[in-house]
Every structure is written in C-alpha cells, then in structure tokens.
Amino acid sequence: MMIMTQKITSLAFEIRDGMFRKEEDLTPSQRRLAVRRMPSLLEYLSYNCNFLGILAGPLCSYKDYSAFIEGRSYHLKQYEANGKEDLKHEHEVPSPNAVVVHKVTVCAVSLAFYMTATRILPVEYNIDEHFQQTSSILTKIIYLYLSLMAARPKYYFAWTLADAINNAAGFGFQGYDKNGEENWDLVSNLNIKQIELSTSFKMFIDNWNIQTALWLKRVCYERATFSPTAKTFLLSAVWHGVYPGYYLTFFTGSLMTLAARNIRQNARHHFLHSSELKLIYDVMTWIATQVAISYTVAPFVLLSIKPSLQFYSSWYCCLHIACILVLLMIPARARKKGSDEKATISQPQPMAPQKEEEKIPQKNSHPTTNNNSNQREESAWRRPSAAQ
C-alpha cells in the first residue's frame, strides 16, 4: 500500500502538471515529469500493479516506466564532458548481468551482517536500566551509534534487492556516464558509502530512501504554500504508519534540520581556508552527524511510545534542547550564492513543442528523467542549506 500510495499520488500530480497547469508555473522537475496525455486504464494499471515494484518498490516516475515498456529507455548515449551527445554506442545493447550480481552480493553481505550484528548489538539495550546506570556517557554514545549502524543493513538488503530485481528485468538503465560506463541507478534507493560517511544530516538524507524523498519533495514540499519543511516531515510520518516512534523521529529530524542549517551557515566558512582545517571540520561533522542520526532514528526502530520516551529521557532530551538553543541563539544567515543558483534553476526553461515531444518515441530518443543528477538537484527540498 505504501508504494501504491506513492505511485497514485505521483501520477495524479504529474497529470495535473501536464494538463491543467500553465507551463510557466511549473518547476523544472515538474516540467520534466509532466504527463500531457491521460493514460488509458491498461497503462494506469500497468504502472501501479507491475510486478517489478509492487511489493518493495522502488518508486519510479510514470514517464520512466512508459519509456521502459515502450522500448525507448535503451536509446544508448554517451555524454562527453561538454554535455554533447556521442552516439558511438548506439547499436550496443546494455547488459544488467554484472550490476545485478554486484547488487545481489551486497544483499547477501547486508543480510548476513544484520543477522549477526543485531544479536550482539540490539537497539533495545540502549534503554536497559542496568546499562543506563552503569555505563559512562562515552560508552552510551558509542553503543548507540553501533546499535543503529547494525540496524541499517536490513534496509540495505531490501532496497538493494528491489533495485536488482528491476535491473534484472531490464529496468533502471539510464545511459552512459562521461567515461562510457553503463549506469543502472535510475531507481536506486540508497548509496551505502555516502550514508556511512555522511558529514551532515542533509548528506545522510540525500542518500537514504532516495525515491521516497523525491516523492515527498514533488507532492508536498514544492507545492506547500507555507511551512513546507514541517508539512513534509508530517506527511512522511503519516505515510510510514501509526507507530508513535515515527512521529517522534520526524519531529526530532525537523529540529535537527533547522539547527544544522544555522550551524553550517555560521561556522563552515571558517574551516575552508586550508585542507587541514577542512579535514578537522569533516571529522567533527562526521561524529556529530552519526550521533545525531542515531539519536533521531532510535524511536523509529523502537516504534512504541513508552520505550521511545524512555530512550529520550535517558538522554535528558539533550539534543532536542541543544537544537532549540541553536535556533534561539545562532541566527540564520541569508544565502547569496545558493539563492542565486536557486533562482537560476527556477527560471522557466524553453520547452519543445508538443508535437516534437510526441515524435520522440518514433526516434527512440526519449531521455530518462529521474537520473542521479536530477535526484541530487531535486533532493534539495530535504534539507535546504543543511550542515555539510
């Protein structure tokens, strides 16, 4: 039901953007994904109920799915560094075999690690009374980080397996990079290396459950008339389910986001004068990020209200208080470069006439829309100017 909810709402907004809104009112991502013809019943059911992602996803846009079904996603092209198209790979057929084997291997390792580590490092031990009374603060911090790190591989397993299933069926190819390497990450949902090495809350979120984050951005954040961040966090909590731990996690996440934004804007530029200072900054922010993430998501794993509140009370809600103090004492600085870039991105882009767009399938040159660069651009909703 969670994936069906994403698909139905996404398609509804894409149809609305393509058929009932003015072109100049659309954002660049809305233009790319706009559906300008009402799908037939067969197309609608095929998109929502296809076997590739009906159970575990990941979400894909209607345009990407249509291009795959109609055979347009295999228009192979390689982009040079200057962005021009090179058709020397035009007659090659991409093979997902290698990437599927790699992703299945990642699944096996993730599952084995999860089954082993969670027995040694259960998250519930964080609220054990004996542990709380006898452990030092440093021990509590280290165990919190290790126990939540041990809980993540189950998500790595599920999302990577879902991605591999799509790739095995031929879906997920998005062309070649500038080095001529095949890219099968069209519907990838995470980047494990970036998650584990995150030096900011934003960096972690940008690489975690990517397709859901893009869905939240497209259907909520960029359409909200006020308080888009709060509304997006609330929608995410409601979409996940009714467990109180979800709501505590997303409430805490919103505080972390706002506080991290203020800290980054006021502190980061002081560490960019030398590589040594930048390294110190990266180490400090990695430690802070991992502790903040673990503290934030513990209720997400504990689920129930009693253990979740017991966990936060055992930490005296220290990071909640710290975030509030940061918001009260450290002012948010106006962004200059970021604002200019955002204004540039949001300017209406020239659009090809509708007739030309309809001819694309005949030319077999329909571009995929949800590539990694677009994901990075669109994921800016999640933590605008959050701490890096």
Active site residues: 209, 240
Give the C-alpha separation, 333 to 47, whole Å.
44
Give the C-alpha separation, 354 to 24, whole Å.
15
Give the C-alpha separation, 215 to 53, whole Å.
15
The stretches of the chain forming alpha helices (DSSP H) are 2-19, 28-33, 41-49, 62-69, 97-120, 129-134, 137-151, 153-168, 192-196, 201-206, 210-219, 228-240, 244-267, 275-302, 305-314, 318-329, 337-345, 354-363, 372-378
Nearest one of 317, 198, 329 to 258, comparing CA atoms = 329
**CA dist list (Å): 176 to 30, 70, 300, 368, 372:** 24, 20, 38, 12, 12
Q: Residue 288 is encoded by which pair of tokens? A: 């802070």
- Whether residue 182 contacts residue 94, with contact meaning beta carbons closer than 8 Å, is answered with yes
- The residue type at 166: N
- Whether residue 311 contacts residue 302, with contact meaning beta carbons closer than 8 Å, is answered with yes
Q: Residue 88 is encoded by which pair of tokens? A: 């020397």
How many residues in total does the chain contain? 388
- Whether residue 300 contacts residue 245, with contact meaning beta carbons closer than 8 Å, is answered with yes
Angle subtended at Cα 375 by Cα 369 and Cα 380, rounded to the nearest 5 degrees: 135
Q: Residue 104 is encoded by which pair of tokens? A: 């299945």
Nearest one of 200, 176, 204 to 190, comparing CA atoms = 204
